[in-house]
Amino acid sequence: EWVTVLPALDLAHRLNAPAIGNPASVQRGEDRPMAKLTDEKVRAIRDEYVPRQVTQASLAETYGATLMTINGIVRGTRWRHVT
């Protein structure tokens, strides 16, 4: 069955579920239950990364994260809320 966004939001409200797209209800970074990294580790990754000297692969191994995650952290597309 197809449902538009408005009935879905109405149902979520009636069930006392967080609103879809509500930034206040979004868990970020270390607040997520399955997070492997902390805000402190993300800062350390950004500090330690030096192109052509410290590889993203070595950081991924050190911190137990995927290469894609490390790449996103150093490019600023992941964990953007950490400064």
* Digit-coded pLDDT (tens) for 27-72: 778 777 788 899 999 999 999 999 999 999 999 999 999 999 999 9
Does residue 8 register a pLDDT over 90? Answer: no
DSSP per-residue string spanning 3-70: --HHHHHHHHHHTTPPPTT-GGG---GGGSTT----HHHHHHHHHH--TTTS-HHHHHHHHT--HHHH
Does residue 19 register a pLDDT over 60? Answer: no
How many Cβ atoms sit within 10 Å of the Cβ of residue 56?
A: 20
Q: For the whole prediction, is pTM greater than 0.75?
A: no
Identify the pLDDT of residue 58. 97
